[in-house]
Each structure stands twice: as C-alpha cells, then as structure tokens.
Amino acid sequence: MTEPSQPKPKGDPRPRIVEALLQLAGERRFEDISMRDVATRANVSLGDFRDAFPSKGAVLGGFNRMIDRAVLDQDFTEMAAEAPREKLFDVLMRRLEAMAPYRAGLREIVAWAKRDPISASQLNRAVVNSMRFMLEAAGIDNDGPTASIKLQGLALAWARIVEVWLDDEDPGFSHSMATLDRELTLGETLTQAVDRFEALAAPLRRFAFAALEAGVRFGERRRGGEDEAAREP
C-alpha cells in the first residue's frame, strides 16, 4: 500500500526551490543533484520546478536575486553621513550576513564553479549585476565608459572575499572583514587609475571619432562625385 503523497504547499514555489538546492548542495556534490531531487526536497512537482526555473543554474541566479533583495530592502539612512568606501563596506558586510545561513551549500557551489569554468562565467555575470546594485545601495555611481571594468573588478574582489568568508571560523568574521577592507583599498587604487586613464584617453577618443566622421563624409562626397560623372553623356 503506497503512502499518501504530501500535499503541495500553495504560493510561489521559487523560494522553496532555492532553499532546497542550497540545502542539497550542503550535502553532496552539485553535479550529483538532479532537478527531481530539488523538486522533491522543495515539495513541488517537476512541472512547478520547470515553470519557476529552467535549470539548476537558474536557481542559483534566483538565490543571488534573493540575497540582493535581502540587502536592498534594508534601511540605509544611518549610512548617509559615511564616506562612499565605508558605505560599500557596510553594504557588502550586510550581504555576507544575508548569505550566512547558506554557507555549507555555498562552499560546494564555489567548488563546483571551479570545476566548471563555463558555469563559473555565467555565475560571474550574475555577480556583476549584483555588484551594480550594491554600488547603488552605497550611493556610488556605476555608469560611464569604464563602468564595466569597475564592476568586473568588484565582482572579482567579491569572489576573493567570499572564499575567505566561507572558511572564516571567527565568530566576528574578523578575517573576512580584513579581506574586505584590503580589497576595497585595492579597488580604490585601481578605480583611480582607470579614471585617470579615461581622462587621458578621452581627447584621443574624440579625435578618433572626428577622424572617422571626416572619413565617412569624404567617402560620401567622393561617391557622389563618381555618380555625377557616370551620369554625364
């Protein structure tokens, strides 16, 4: 006699699917977790999983957005008087705090990303977008010609911070805080260098655009002259 199936909970299944995948990642290798395993742990049907996420990788994207939301929904008014660097330090520490319940699963996910470079590049894109919002929360501009360089640099720094944090057994996460402080200091130096390069390169870029436009206009006039000559009897 088969046991009656457990009734499926109502509501958005995505949070339960995310939680289930992170739980399972804390118990076994990421490659050994099937989507059916996740659906079973989350107590949703495989069809519900498919409607919510197209893949396990997409579930990780959902986890990333969940952490973003946990940080961005907080009140940052007490940071108003702080310098941008201190604001960003505070924002990223809040992000680590939001991730703390999932450390066991994140250890395996980080290890899996090292084993799977293609998936690692996909995760990197999600982290870059998260860093865009973390900068916004800290009141730091992330637009302009060099924004993508700065965002990628912060994403790489974040990856190094997370690796230290995952093995930081100090209750106050002193090693993580020291790494975060060091990475932000290095990031400030690199950002200033990128900004100086952008300031130096701007006149050359304007000259290149002007030369290109002049070349286009010259080509159009030349073609126009050739067309006129072709129409002469």
Question: pLDDT tens digit string along 112-132?
Answer: 999 999 999 999 999 999 999
Residue 11 belongs to some domain of the structure? no
CA dist., res. 49 & res. 13, Å (int) = 8
How many residues are present in the chain? 233
CA dist., res. 59 & res. 120, Å (int) = 14
Categorize the per-residue pLDDT at 197 as very low, low, confident or very high, splitting at 50, 70 and 90: very low
Residue 125 belongs to some domain of the structure? yes
Which of 36-45, 74-83, 220-229: highest mean pLDDT? 36-45
CA dist., res. 39 & res. 42, Å (int) = 5
Q: Tokens 């952490």 map to which residue?
A: 67
Residue 160 belongs to some domain of the structure? yes
Residue 25 belongs to some domain of the structure? no
CA dist., res. 150 & res. 208, Å (int) = 24
pTM of the model: 0.77
Checking if the pLDDT of 217 tops 60, the result is no
Residue 46 belongs to some domain of the structure? no
Residue 104 belongs to some domain of the structure? yes
Number of separate domains in the chain: 1
Residue 71 belongs to some domain of the structure? no
Q: What is the pLDDT of residues 16-34, one digit of tens each?
A: 999 999 999 999 999 999 9
Residue 64 belongs to some domain of the structure? no
pLDDT at 222: 56
**Percent of the chain residues topping a pLDDT of 90:** 61
pLDDT at 145: 72
Instruction: Share the mean pLDDT of the chain.
Output: 84
* Domain span holding position 122: 81-233
